[in-house]
Amino acid sequence: MSASTETRVPEAAKRTTSGWSQSLHDWVTTVDHKRLGILYIGAGFFFLVIGGVEAILMRAQLAVPANTFLGPQEFNRLFTMHGTTMVFLVGMPIVTGFGNYLIPLMIGARDMAFPRLNAWGFWMFLLGGIVLYMSYFASMGLYGAGTAPDVGWFAYAPLAGKAFSRGNATDYWILGILISGFGSVSGAINMLTTTLTMRCPGMTMNRLPLFVWMMLVVSFLMLLALPVLTGAQVMLLFDRFMGAHFFDTQAGGDAVLWQHFFWFFGHPEVYILMIPGFAYASEIIPVFSRKVIFGYSFMVAATLAIGLVAVGVWAHHMFTVGMGKGLSVWFAVMTMIVGIPTGIKLFNWIATLYGGKILMRTPMLFCLGFLGQFLVAGLSGILLSGAPLNWQLSDSYFVVAHFHYVLIGGLVFTIFGACYYWFPKMTGRLLSERLGRWHFWLFFVGFHLTFTTMHVQGVLGMPRRIYTYPVERGWEVWNAISSSGAILQALGVAVFLFALAQAFRRPQWAGPDPWNAWTLEWSTSSPPPAYNFLTIPEVRSRRPLWDLKHPDDPDWEHE
């Protein structure tokens, strides 16, 4: 696999370095899209464990009323770091990592368009993550205030300005996210360019795997949204360090401008995280239903429609600031419109299942969980898009339940499914099906215990971001259930990590095509060689491997 890296190492250097340090050197200096993809995903899971520990600390605090396990200040820091970590240091790298690994393999290319830019993007992301967590050690600023930032993952200015957020913790938040944003933008440029210019002969846009189509839209949204956040963060830095007045209400600055900028980034960001979930499901569900995806062109069109509508819905996060009737109606209606293309997708997946020979393997289990949970997430989202109900439910646990249904019930479930599905391609080893089932059921039950109950807490009026609550409000039982679910989810992730270790200790070899699948990545060995394909493949349909396996009845006769 490391044939190309080895040729570059001089013979003398080879003799003096041990295998371990040579391997480390190869991984640190790699520009191979597959290794960078694995690095992205690995780093994402590392931060997932950190963000998960933060979540469990918060659930421990909220398990019983009037708890004194954490103080208000620590709690604020924890939910800030939890949200920031999960969005920027878990979701983004895992999404980019799978894109990096799979896009060249799926379109029959030997690497990304800009391999060195690719490596630069990964290390910028990692630097951003390290800078954010440096705040725990290094942010005892001039005023001696703060360890981690406590401004929320949205860092609303002017509250994040110098007057209200003293010390340097908030600056670590700004700089960490800003730096990792450079990495994401370079990754988006790379994925777009690769998809548009590096496709193998015959791989027309009309034959692109849905995964690649969806990552194309995701990359476009990244390019559109992330520079907006970067610009707003630069303004905040100017305010904090150079005495500028962008968000300074004393000098006539606007208190809502940051919210507009942040959510103009923030809502497309939700789709940047969620569309890759659709992408994994769109590859996994057909293979385990033994059927072609239902409505390929409608899936593409729906993805483009979601990408388009994504830029016109941001202020539904801001109904409670009082935007006036016209804007509220606009954003409510636009938000409801998102339900149409998303509904098309959901029905297409169900129609793919319909009449299929369904194989209940672990990747499929996670995707089926995703279908049901994402439906609930979408429905609670449409509830919240109604401005009057939103005024009632905003900043309550109902909203927490809604977006965790999207990001865990939707994204994390499909990420786990994708891990079980593509891990054999990445390492040549299958993950244990038995452990996979334990993982799924523990995580599934834990997820529903934690987040289904949160809908109830929200309707009962429990606000978000409170560090504790009094006894007599009727929230105790629900919170206890929520917290117990967190333990099951943690156990599920532990089983997953154990399954990963098991796959290396007692390998179960996968072979090039363990799932009898149809896209090009399964036509090469597992793990693929550094150059991916010995000869660049030529495709004639959307399922090139089906054509290869069934020369008597190839797809291109029907498309």
Residues contacting other proteins: total by CB under 8 A:
66
Q: In 88-168, which residue ranges form alpha helices assigned H by DSSP? A: 92-106, 115-138
Q: Least Å distance between CB 361 and other proteins?
A: 7
Distance CA 220, CA 422 (A): 24
Write down the least CB distance from residue 498 to other proteins, Å: 16
Q: Which long-range contacts (CB under 8 A, 24 or more apart) does 307-311 make?
A: 307/217, 307/220, 307/221, 307/271, 307/275, 309/334, 309/337, 309/338, 309/341, 310/221, 310/267, 310/268, 310/270, 310/271, 310/338, 311/224, 311/225, 311/264, 311/268
Q: From the CB of 149, what's the least distance to other proteins, in Å?
A: 22
Nearest-angstrom CA–CA distance, 313 and 335: 6
Helix axes 325-353, 362-385, angle to 10 degrees: 160
Binding mask 512-531 for other proteins (x = CB under 8 A): xxxxx------xxx---xxx
Tokens of 38: 């694995």
Length, in residues, of the chain: 559
User: Which residue number, 171 or 239, has a Cβ lying nearer to other proteins?
Assistant: 239
Cβ 503 vs Cβ 267: under 8 Å: no
* Options 216, 235, 495, 539; binder of other proteins; rule CB under 8 A: 235
Piece in contact with other proteins (CB under 8 A), picked from 202-210, 238-246, 321-329, 369-377: 238-246
Rule CB under 8 A: say whether 547 interacts with other proteins.
Answer: no
Residue 430: CB minimum distance to other proteins, A: 7
CB of 99 to other proteins, least distance (A): 15
Between residue 84 and residue 143, which ones bind other proteins under the rule CB under 8 A? 110-111, 113-114
* 66 contacts other proteins (rule: CB under 8 A): no
C-alpha–C-alpha distance, residues 136 and 144, integer Å: 13
Q: Which lies closer to other proteins via its Cβ, residue 226 or residue 306?
A: 226
Question: Is residue 324 close enough to count as binding other proteins by CB under 8 A?
Answer: no
| Smallest gap from residue 233 Cβ to other proteins (A) | 10
Q: According to the 3-state scheme, what is the secondary structure of 163-209?
A: CCCCCCHHHHHHHHHHHHHHHHHHHHHHHHHHHHHCCCCCCCHHHCC
Q: Which residue among 188, 273, 275, 411 contacts other proteins (CB under 8 A)? A: 188
| Binding-residue pattern over the window 246 to 285 for other proteins, x denoting contact by CB under 8 A | x----xxxx--x---x------------------------
Binding site for other proteins (CB under 8 A): 3-4, 7, 110-111, 113-114, 185, 188-190, 192-194, 196-198, 223-228, 230-232, 234-235, 238, 242-246, 251-254, 257, 261, 361, 430, 432-434, 508-516, 523-525, 529-531, 533-536, 548-549
